[in-house]
Amino acid sequence: MQNQSKKEGASLERRLVELAWTDPAFAALLQTDPRQALAIIGVEVSPGVKIDIRQQRRDTLYFVIPPLAAKPEDAETVINQMDLWQSGELFCWMMPQALKLELLSMRQSFRRNNP
């Protein structure tokens, strides 16, 4: 793996992309052991959280389907249990509140470990 030196002011997401594009060993580690790859750049992940990192392909369209409500009777309000964020017509993120907090925590640990 190349030097994992810190890039000043880079966000967690930007740093992941830069390393995946420029460091083949880091890109491979993202696929095989994303938790270890994140640890290398100073990101702390809670033990119970699963990490799935995918490098997009130019010929593939990806859809991420949010999970159904834990209880079938809550299925009608599942979207209300999610955090929906949209920027124009470009994209949206949907995730349970607990994972939103985990992502914020991961970003904070990245900033703390990469001043």
The pLDDT, as a whole number, for residue 9 is: 63
Sign of CA dihedral 5, 108, 20, 58: negative
Contacts for 22-26 with beta carbons within 8 Å, 24 or more apart?
25/1, 26/1, 26/2
What integer best gives the mean pLDDT of the chain?
78
- 0.75 exceeded by pTM: no
| Per-domain boundaries in the chain | 12-50+57-113
pLDDT digits (tens, 9 = 90+) for 10-35: 789 899 999 999 999 999 999 999 99
Q: Is residue 36 a contact partner of residue 53, using CB atoms and an 8 Å limit? A: no
The pLDDT, as a whole number, for residue 3 is: 44
pLDDT digits (tens, 9 = 90+) for 53-71: 988 888 888 777 766 667 7
d(CA 79, CA 31): 30
Structure tokens at 60: 């593939």
pLDDT > 70: percent of the chain: 67
